[in-house]
Structure 1
Amino acid sequence: MDKEMEYGKDYKFIPATSIGSGVTHVVASDIISHTLQIVNICIVGSAHEWVLVDAGMPNSAEEIIAVTEERFGKGSCPKAIVLTHGHFDHVGAIIELIEHWNAPVYAHELEIRYLTGKLDYPKPDPSVEGGLVAKISAMFPNKAINIGQHVQQLPNDGTVPGMPHWKWLHTPGHTPGHISLFRENDRILIAGDAFVTVRSDSLYKVITQELEMSGPPRYFTTDWQAAWQSVKNLAALNPAIAVTGHGLPIEGELLTESLGNLANHFDEIAIPDHGIYVDKRLH
């Protein structure tokens, strides 16, 4: 491992999985979503030019590389790796992937401090209202990783390197620099954890991948007002298909109705009744 790059001191394999682990979903002709234990990565593009969105769970590099090589051929390298945010389950294999591909990494400017060893994320909140995953979230890594000069700020004009026709959107709340990606011509949304399609605090629902429109994972979300506004902004795009960081892809009328309902009733559906990061002024 490059000595200039390192994971946080609390970085470790998390023994959590679901029935969807290892499953690939074809979202469009040029987009697949692949589940690694409990989190999704996206691969966007063609063999000529493709981008990896997010970098999975700790120890998932070999599977990510295998999935990309099955799709594009052995030795194929991405134009870029784009991170929706830097939580451990979205950057779990980033150092190994950088070393394997030598691909540039892009993130929002407010997220880069967590990716260059400058600032740790707030600790997960095991006291938050929710299921067993929330209760055991204290074991989840929150220390900053350091990938140094390998990470760059996303362009200020909203374009996404290696992803023509896509725009990145600042969707804070879950983290300060969280982004989502949207392609207007077919209204496909890669939402990251701005909202998810599984109750991510419930162990049973995470394991079974039961489809349920939900807000961002409760135990790691620190700004609920911003998170609500981000969901409203994404609902206003009227996406046709959405791929989220956790849970199954969702599309059509079900997406429209459930995302609209989440935007309108976020305080009832998503915001927990208690927790150290809950803003009581919203109740």
Structure 2
Amino acid sequence: MPPHLFFTVTTLCIAVQFMATSLAAQGIVSAVGGMVYYAESDIFIDDKPVKFDSIRRPHLKKGQKLHTEMGRAEVMIVYDGFARLAPYSDIELISVGSDSARMRLHKGAVMVALTEVWDKDSVAMLVGDHEVKFHKGGVYRLEASGVTPATVKVFKGKVSIVFNGSEKTVKSKRKIDLGNGPYVAVKFDHKNVDDFRAWHRTRMDIINKEREAAIAAVRKGEGDRADHILLKGGSGPQFGDVGIPGGFGGYGSVGRGAAVPSSGCCAGGAGGR
């Protein structure tokens, strides 16, 4: 093939791949922002009891609060990020966009898992008078008891704490107390695993394995089987032509109608990230 034709075909193929990825991602984002992805035991939205249904998942709207009692809950906040609530925790969804979300932790504990962050101001959690901005993909834990100062632990990633016009950066394997000062990030035992973190890891593993199986099915042209895997496992949103969720792990998304080439100039798939 002449060089100029090869360049033209390659450019066109990349453009098609980019469009397929963008459309698939946009479809999933519109469906899952604020969606209660998984829950155990009783959960409440604005103090009203909600029964979790993996087929018709509850969906938080702007300004609504999610409360857990003895159980736990998992909320997809952006296309490739989750907030997981411990028992007796309250979060509020302030705003949600295609790749952004702002929440408020009123009390309890939450694990935030993000594959990547498009902009350092795009995903944030408010805790009291502080704003926690997530700069990178990673794993974070925020706790607010109302009695002792709230804490932010960065297992992996980087955050900035904004307060009183100032900003403090906290990197991996560091924690910081959100009291009245002196706002010093210190090391913590990042290898310690309590029941809540163990549950977070279990949920993360389940979602990753089911997504891998679903993506493998899509690559083989078995879109219906991919949907069945996600429905059976209870880890994938089922909204129209949405096939594969994002989530922690970075595999991306593929709509049911999006082609996933296995070879040629676009190898890697329309949903690869």
Fold conserved between structures, TM > 0.5: no
Is the strand fraction higher in 1 or 2?
Answer: 2
Bigger Rg, structure 1 or 2 = 2
TM normalised by structure 1 equals: 0.33
TM normalised by structure 2 equals: 0.34
